[in-house]
Amino acid sequence: LSPGAKMGCFTFIKVMMILFNLAIFLGGGTLLGVGIWVSVDGQSFLDIFGTVSSSVLQVVNVSYFLIVIGAILLVIGFLGCCGAQKESKCLLMMFFSVVLIIFIAEVAAAVVALVYTGLAETLLMSVVTPLLKEKYGEDKGLTQIWNVTMWKVHCCGLNNYTDFTDSPWYNEYKTYPGPCLVRGSLPLARPHLHGCFLQGCFTQILEEIRTNAGVVGGVAAGIAALEIAAMAVSMYLYCQLDQK
């Protein structure tokens, strides 16, 4: 290519890099705002996004998760946008390094999720079940999240109703939570009489995850492709700056 064509190509890619990272920056700001919103008013989040959101909220604190992801995207967008605009090799290399670290972490997490699914399920049970016994009825946020989930999914506890035995709620009211009762009657003591209401939420959550696995996988693949493209573009600009 002639010097003019190379310069035109460089300028085009630079502008695309700026616009792409500006979009990332704005997206990060949006996620950060949503995370703050969820931390302030989690019930509105549950009302809008429904059962899936409540299932996720059982496992992770969505507000903190969104705040962290939003902050990371803000940093990435800032580095990429400013690095391209100012033609700064330092910022471009920082952008490349951050995206590469995130990409490696995502690949490692995907491998672990595929290979150690059973271990992840065991760890989830070992963490959530004691949490219910210790906090349900005492922690208002956790209690509200579980109540919404159990009513909507028609399940009780993570494993079954015994997860709430000796919980602050049970010790105070001497009964199990409302979703674990049939029309406000006796606790679910006989599984053959009460069907799905005795069913723990764990299997329901797994079913929801499996149902949406294709969508999640497609989104993950798209994100990975964008990350690879972003790294390639940033390295191209970095190398072109050497020639300039």
For the chain, what are the domain ranges?
Answer: 115-183+191-228
| Tokens 């996620």, located at residue | 31
Phi first, then psi, for residue 70 (nearest 5°) are -60, -40
More confident residue, 191 or 20: 20
What is the reported pTM?
A: 0.60
CA dihedral 64, 110, 142, 138 (to 10 degrees): -100
Which architecture does CATH list for 115-183+191-228?
Answer: Orthogonal Bundle (1.10)
Phi first, then psi, for residue 187 (nearest 5°) are -60, 160
Q: What is the mean pLDDT of the chain?
A: 76
Query: Which amino acid is residue 70, in one-letter code?
Result: G
**30-60 pLDDT, tens digit each:** 888 877 877 776 566 555 555 444 444 544 4
Supply angle C-alpha 16, 18, 23, rounded to 5: 95
Instruction: Measure the CA–CA gap between 150 and 64, rounded to whole angstroms.
Output: 23
| Beta-bridge partners for 181 | 187
**180-213 pLDDT, tens digit each:** 775 544 444 444 344 345 677 887 777 766 676 6
CB 241 within 8 A of CB 98: no
